[in-house]
């Protein structure tokens, strides 16, 4: 097949992927909002889970259907790096990100622990079945904690859902259709047509997964975060980034490794993710605000990472 057609089909896949993710996030967000839970929890769980769905689908297809371990873990780590460098960078450049430090204190701590666990587990170039199940167990604990916090919010607000309400049905339909679009576009367009592009460019599957596909599957996070920031919903936007990185590691990587052991060396990339995660602590701890200059710095650092990946 002509390489131009491959590029076009990958681009189409990314477009459909983002349509699906937006429908999924839109429907799930309305359901969660109607339950009366705080914006942070929506960002950390519902929005983060929805926008992490592309990473999960692409990574599973890459490692199971195409035997591309490097693309699978590269997509996960690359997306985590893009979430901080690209998404928070762009969001901060649009306007200072003001968040309440105490709101994110526990979640930043969880992100730090999860990132360290990723380095320990994947540092030897292998993520075993057992390690995959351990990561998934961590994911269950994360969602259980979030559910507990959500239940406390519901008790305070007393919100109830009428499942016969047309808006409830519409939101549920958005979730189902969005998920179907994610699976179809990831399997038949993005992964299938990225392979000949890899061969044409002469780069490894890990590099492609960490750059082109990672950016493509991070676009839902970017769209959701920028939209929430523009409306002043900083908790949702920043929570989406933190939650997505936690979910990518615990649920996406854990789920893929539970299905099949992953073998790929990504030592430098793990170091980059750890460094960028550490950058979040002083940024939000000092004043609770990420300035435009810091956002520009994150974008420059991310750009240098992309350039390095292809050299």
Identify the pLDDT of residue 84: 92
Every domain of the chain and the residues it spans? 3-158+166-309
Of the two residues 40 and 144, the one the predictor is more confident about is 144
Q: At what angle do helices 292-309 and 267-286 cross, to 10 degrees?
A: 180
Identify the pLDDT of residue 158: 60
Assigned superfamily of 3-158+166-309: NCX, central ion-binding region (1.20.1420.30)
Query: In which band, very low, low, confident or very high, does the pLDDT at 112 lie, cut at 50, 70 and 90?
Result: very high
User: Average pLDDT, stretch 280-296?
Assistant: 73
Torsion of CA 274, 277, 278, 281, to 10 degrees: -170
pLDDT beyond 60 at 162: no
Taking the model in full, what pTM does it have? Answer: 0.81
pLDDT beyond 70 at 170: yes
User: Average pLDDT, stretch 136-155?
Assistant: 85
Report, in angstroms and rounded to the nearest whole number, the Rg of the chain calculated over CA atoms.
19
Determine contact, residues 186/10, Cβ cutoff 8 Å.
no
Tell me the CA distances in angstroms from 287 to 101, 102, 129, 226, 280, one per residue in order: 8, 11, 42, 21, 12
pLDDT beyond 80 at 132: yes
């Amino acid at each position: 097949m002509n390489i131009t057609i491959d590029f076009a089909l990958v681009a189409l896949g990314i477009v459909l992927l983002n349509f699906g993710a937006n429908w999924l996030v839109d429907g799930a967000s309305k359901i969660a909002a109607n339950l009366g839970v705080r914006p942070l929890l929506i960002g950390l769980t519902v929005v983060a889970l929805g926008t992490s769905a592309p990473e999960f689908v692409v990574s599973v297809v890459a490692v199971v259907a195409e035997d591309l371990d490097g693309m699978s873990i590269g997509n996960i780590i690359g997306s985590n790096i893009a979430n901080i460098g690209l998404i928070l960078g762009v969001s901060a450049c649009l306007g200072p990100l003001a968040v309440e430090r105490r709101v994110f204190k526990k979640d930043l701590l969880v992100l730090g622990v999860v990132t360290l666990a990723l380095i320990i587990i994947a540092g030897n170039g292998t993520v075993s079945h057992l390690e995959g199940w351990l990561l998934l167990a961590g994911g269950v604990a994360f969602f259980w904690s979030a559910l507990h916090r959500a239940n406390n919010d519901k008790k305070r607000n007393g919100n109830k859902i009428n499942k016969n309400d047309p808006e409830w049905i519409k939101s549920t339909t958005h979730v189902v259709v969005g998920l179907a679009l994610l699976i179809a576009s990831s399997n038949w367009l993005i992964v299938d047509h990225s392979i000949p592009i890899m061969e044409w460019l002469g780069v490894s599957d890990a590099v492609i997964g960490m750059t082109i596909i990672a950016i493509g599957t991070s676009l839902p996070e970017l769209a959701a975060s920028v939209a929430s920031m523009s409306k002043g919903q900083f908790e949702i936007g920043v929570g989406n980034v933190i939650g997505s990185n936690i979910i990518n590691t615990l649920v996406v990587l854990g789920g893929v490794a539970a299905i099949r052991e992953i073998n790929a060396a990504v030592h430098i990339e793990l170091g980059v993710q750890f460094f960028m995660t550490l950058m979040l602590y002083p940024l939000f701890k000092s004043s609770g605000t990420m300035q435009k200059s810091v956002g520009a710095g994150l974008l420059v650092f991310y750009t240098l990472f992309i350039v390095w990946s292809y050299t």
